[in-house]
């Protein structure tokens, strides 16, 4: 499939799921072209279609309303943007309103059935997390790999322990978790997201990342999923492209924190 066809499928299916398929406790409000999602104790989210259809002062007012909504609740919020969206000056206007970029990632999409080839590993076992101890080890590994606290993963994965659409997958060597990842299937769509995939520095270059992708691809195919989506850093993007993933756009989250 072409990059354009993959991007079209992503825009039609995966993006709306951000405000239509939600965890318990979430509330959604529509404000013009955007959807505002908030939870009692989590950072909020704002997103919308590829073309917001508003520009200039009207767009500035829309941004300010979302910022002020979360400020009044003393909550942070992420406004997620994609580089193919319009108006093209949305990022600049978010920054002018006090939002801060959290860095750009490349959105890559691949066909799940093409990513399932097994990877030979030496002394490393790929398996699914089965209990709370596994989840704590996964979060600790992610914290070390990415250099920022990932304890929130414990709460999320324990909340989702009975959800067949969220599966944590780890790589172990001598009983130690050396790489962690998860797959989140988007119900009612042909998409699943591959998240995490971080490997401890001394264990890189051994095929673990590729093996985790392949394992999760097989899980996706078993569940009838066609597309795998990754928001990739520059470290993982070349690996994914070699596997056959296609870069379709970039994404940047802009955060507002009342404090």
- Please write the tens of the pLDDT for every residue from 102-158: 999 999 999 999 999 999 999 999 999 999 999 999 999 999 998 888 888 898 899
Mean pLDDT of 209-236: 96
At 12 the pLDDT is 97
Mean pLDDT of 1-14: 96
* Same domain membership, residue 176 and residue 95: no
Tell me if 42 is assigned to some domain. Answer: yes
Q: Can you say whether the dihedral through the CA atoms of 81, 82, 86, 92 is positive or negative?
A: positive
Across the chain, mean pLDDT equals: 95
* Same domain membership, residue 239 and residue 124: yes
* Same domain membership, residue 128 and residue 85: no
* Same domain membership, residue 133 and residue 77: no
Interatomic CA distance for residues 244 and 239, integer angstroms = 9
For residue 24, pLDDT over 90 is answered with: no
* Same domain membership, residue 122 and residue 11: no
Split into its structural domains, the chain has a count of: 2
* Same domain membership, residue 94 and residue 125: no
* Same domain membership, residue 231 and residue 144: yes
What is the C-alpha R_g of the chain? 19
Tell me if 40 is assigned to some domain. Answer: yes
* Same domain membership, residue 139 and residue 219: yes
* Same domain membership, residue 81 and residue 52: yes
User: pLDDT band at residue 22, thresholds of 50, 70 and 90?
Assistant: confident
* Same domain membership, residue 216 and residue 99: no
Tell me if 192 is assigned to some domain. Answer: yes
* Same domain membership, residue 70 and residue 29: yes
For residue 42, pLDDT over 90 is answered with: no
We report the CATH number of the domain holding residue 177 as 3.40.630.30
User: pLDDT band at residue 237, thresholds of 50, 70 and 90?
Assistant: very high
* Same domain membership, residue 233 and residue 125: yes
User: pLDDT band at residue 39, thresholds of 50, 70 and 90?
Assistant: confident
Closest CA to 6 of 243, 230, 233: 230
Tell me if 111 is assigned to some domain. Answer: no
pLDDT tens for each residue of 44-86: 999 999 999 999 999 999 999 999 999 999 999 999 999 999 9
Tell me if 135 is assigned to some domain. Answer: yes
Mean pLDDT of 206-234: 96
Tell me if 125 is assigned to some domain. Answer: yes
Q: Which domain holds residue 73?
A: 3-106+251-256
């Amino acid at each position: 499939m072409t990059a354009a066809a993959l991007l079209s499928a992503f825009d039609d299916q995966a993006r709306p799921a951000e405000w239509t398929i939600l965890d318990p406790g979430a509330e959604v409000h529509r404000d013009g072209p955007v959807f505002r999602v908030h939870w009692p104790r989590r950072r909020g989210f704002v997103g919308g279609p590829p073309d917001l259809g508003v520009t200039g002062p009207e767009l500035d007012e829309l941004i300010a309303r979302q910022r002020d909504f979360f400020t009044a609740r003393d909550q942070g919020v992420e406004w997620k943007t994609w580089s193919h969206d319009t108006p093209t000056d949305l990022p600049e206007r978010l920054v002018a309103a006090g939002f801060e970029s959290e860095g750009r990632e490349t959105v890559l999409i691949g066909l799940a059935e093409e990513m399932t080839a097994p990877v030979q590993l030496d002394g490393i076992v790929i398996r699914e997390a089965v209990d709370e101890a596994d989840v704590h080890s996964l979060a600790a590994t992610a914290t070390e790999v990415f250099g920022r606290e990932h304890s929130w993963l414990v709460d999320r994965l324990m909340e989702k322990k009975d959800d067949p659409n969220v599966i944590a997958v780890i790589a172990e060597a001598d009983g130690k978790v050396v790489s962690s990842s998860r797959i989140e299937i988007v119900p009612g769509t042909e998409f699943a997201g591959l998240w995490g995939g971080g490997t401890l520095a001394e264990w890189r270059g051994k095929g673990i990342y590729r093996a985790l992708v392949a394992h999760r691809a097989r899980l996706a195919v078993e569940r009838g999923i066609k597309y795998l989506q990754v928001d990739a850093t520059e470290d993982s993007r070349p690996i994914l492209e070699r596997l056959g993933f296609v870069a379709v756009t970039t994404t940047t989250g802009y955060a507002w924190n009342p404090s």
